[in-house]
Structure 1
Amino acid sequence: MSPSTHTVDQIEFLSRPSGKAEGKHHIVIVGAGIIGVCIAYYLTRHPSFDPKKHHITVLESKRVAGGASGKAGGLLATWAFPQQIVPLSFQLHQELSDEFDGENQWDYRRLTTVSLEADVQHVSEATDKDDANSTKSADSRSHTLSTRKKNKEPRSSVPKKKRCAQTTRSDRDGSDGDDESDDEDNDELESKEMGPEGLQESYSMGANQPPAPVLPEDLNWIRTQLVRDWSSLGGADSTAQVHPYKFTHFILHEAMKTGAVDLILGKVNEIKFNDVGCASGISYIPTSDDYDGEPDAVETLEAQQIVLAMGPWTSKILPDCPISGLRAHSITIKPSTGTVSPYAIFTELKIAHNNYFSPEMYARKDEVYVCGEGDTLVELPETSDAVEVVREKCDELYHYVSKLSPNLSQGHILKRQACYLPVLNVPTSSGPLIGETNMEGLYVASGHSCWGINNAPGTGKIMSELLLDGAAKSADISALDPGLYFDASVLD
Structure 2
Amino acid sequence: MPRSIAIIGGGIIGTCTAYYLSKHPKIADSTIRIFEGTSIAAGASGKAGGFLAADWHERRTASLGVLSFKLHEDLANEHGGVNKWGYRKVTTLNVEVNPVRRNKHVPDAEWLSSVSHSSKIGDTKTTGQVTPAAFTQTIAKAAEEKGVEITIATVTELRDGADGMKEVIAVANDGEKISFQATDVVFAAGPWTGRLAKQLLGDKAGVAANIVPSNCSTSVVLRPAEAAGMVSPHALFTSITMNNGMTGAPEVYPRADGTVYICGGASTTEPLPEKASDVKHTPALADKLREMAAFISPSHLGHGATTMEVAQACFRPNSDVTGAPIIGKLQPGIWIASGHQVWGIHNGPATGKVMAELILDGKATSAEISQLEP
Amino acid aligned to 2:38: K
- Find out whether 1:245 has 2:133 as its counterpart: yes
Displacement of 1:98 after TM fit?
Answer: 1.4
**Partner residue in 1 for 2:26:** 48
**Partner residue in 2 for 1:425:** 320
- Among 130, 149, 167, which residue is 1:262 paired with? 149
**Partner residue in 1 for 2:17:** 39
In structure 1, distance between residues paired with 2:17 and 2:218 = 27
Q: Where does the alignment leave 5 or more consecutive residues of structure 1 unmatched?
A: 1-22, 121-188, 190-208, 483-492
Q: Where does the alignment leave 5 or more consecutive residues of structure 2 unmatched?
A: 199-205
Displacement of 1:273 after TM fit?
Answer: 2.6
Amino acid aligned to 1:419: C
Contact 1:42 1:460 (8 Å CA) reproduced: yes
**Partner residue in 1 for 2:359:** 467
Q: CA RMSD in A?
A: 2.0
- Find out whether 1:312 has 2:191 as its counterpart: yes
Q: Compared with structure 1, are the counterparts of its residues 57 and 451 closer, same or farther at alpha carbon in structure 2 (3 Å cutoff)? A: same
Contact 1:338 1:367 (8 Å CA) reproduced: no
- Among 18, 23, 30, which residue is 2:8 paired with? 30
In structure 1, distance between residues paired with 2:117 and 2:104 = 6
Identical columns (%): 35
- Among 300, 303, 319, which residue is 1:407 paired with? 300
**Partner residue in 2 for 1:283:** 169
Amino acid aligned to 2:235: A
Q: TM-score, normalised by structure 2?
A: 0.90
1:139-192 superposed Cα distances (whole Å, 9 cap, x missing partner): xxxxxxxxxxxxxxxxxxxxxxxxxxxxxxxxxxxxxxxxxxxxxxxxxx5xxx
**Partner residue in 1 for 2:83:** 104
Secondary structure of the residue aligned to 2:158 is strand
In structure 2, distance between residues paired with 1:421 and 1:71 = 10
Amino acid aligned to 2:50: G
Aligned residues: 355
Contact 2:104 2:113 (8 Å CA) reproduced: no
Displacement of 1:49 after TM fit?
Answer: 1.7
Displacement of 1:228 after TM fit?
Answer: 2.6
Counterparts of 1:157-196 in structure 2, within 5 Å, are none
- Among 339, 343, 358, which residue is 2:234 paired with? 343
Secondary structure of the residue aligned to 1:64 is coil
Higher strand fraction: Structure 1 or Structure 2?
2
Q: Compared with structure 1, are the counterparts of its residues 340 and 252 closer, same or farther at alpha carbon in structure 2 (3 Å cutoff)? A: same
Displacement of 1:64 after TM fit?
Answer: 0.7
Contact 2:54 2:126 (8 Å CA) reproduced: yes
In structure 1, distance between residues paired with 2:323 and 2:129 = 22
Displacement of 1:339 after TM fit?
Answer: 3.7
Amino acid aligned to 1:328: S
Amino acid aligned to 1:379: P
Secondary structure of the residue aligned to 1:240 is strand
Contact 1:223 1:404 (8 Å CA) reproduced: no
Counterparts of 1:83-482 in structure 2, within 5 Å, are 83-120=62-99, 212-215=103-106, 217-224=107-114, 227-258=115-146, 260-274=147-161, 280-287=166-173, 291=174, 295=175, 297-319=176-198, 321-326=209-214, 327-336=216-225, 337=228, 339-351=230-242, 355-365=246-256, 366-373=258-265, 375-405=267-297, 406-409=299-302, 410-426=305-321, 429-437=322-330, 439-482=331-374
**Partner residue in 1 for 2:203:** none
In structure 2, distance between residues paired with 1:316 and 1:338 = 46
Structure whose alpha-carbon radius of gyration is higher:
1
In structure 1, distance between residues paired with 2:192 and 2:166 = 21
In structure 2, distance between residues paired with 1:80 and 1:465 = 25
- Among 42, 46, 69, which residue is 1:70 paired with? 46
In structure 2, distance between residues paired with 1:442 and 1:86 = 24
Secondary structure of the residue aligned to 2:351 is helix
Displacement of 1:403 after TM fit?
Answer: 1.3
Displacement of 1:374 after TM fit?
Answer: 5.6
Amino acid aligned to 2:34: V
In structure 2, distance between residues paired with 1:352 and 1:315 = 42
Amino acid aligned to 1:32: G
**Partner residue in 1 for 2:33:** 57
Q: TM-score, normalised by structure 1?
A: 0.69
Displacement of 1:352 after TM fit?
Answer: 6.3
Contact 1:281 1:306 (8 Å CA) reproduced: no
Contact 1:304 1:441 (8 Å CA) reproduced: yes
In structure 1, distance between residues paired with 2:5 and 2:230 = 43
Displacement of 1:84 after TM fit?
Answer: 2.7
Secondary structure of the residue aligned to 1:85 is helix
Contact 2:3 2:27 (8 Å CA) reproduced: no
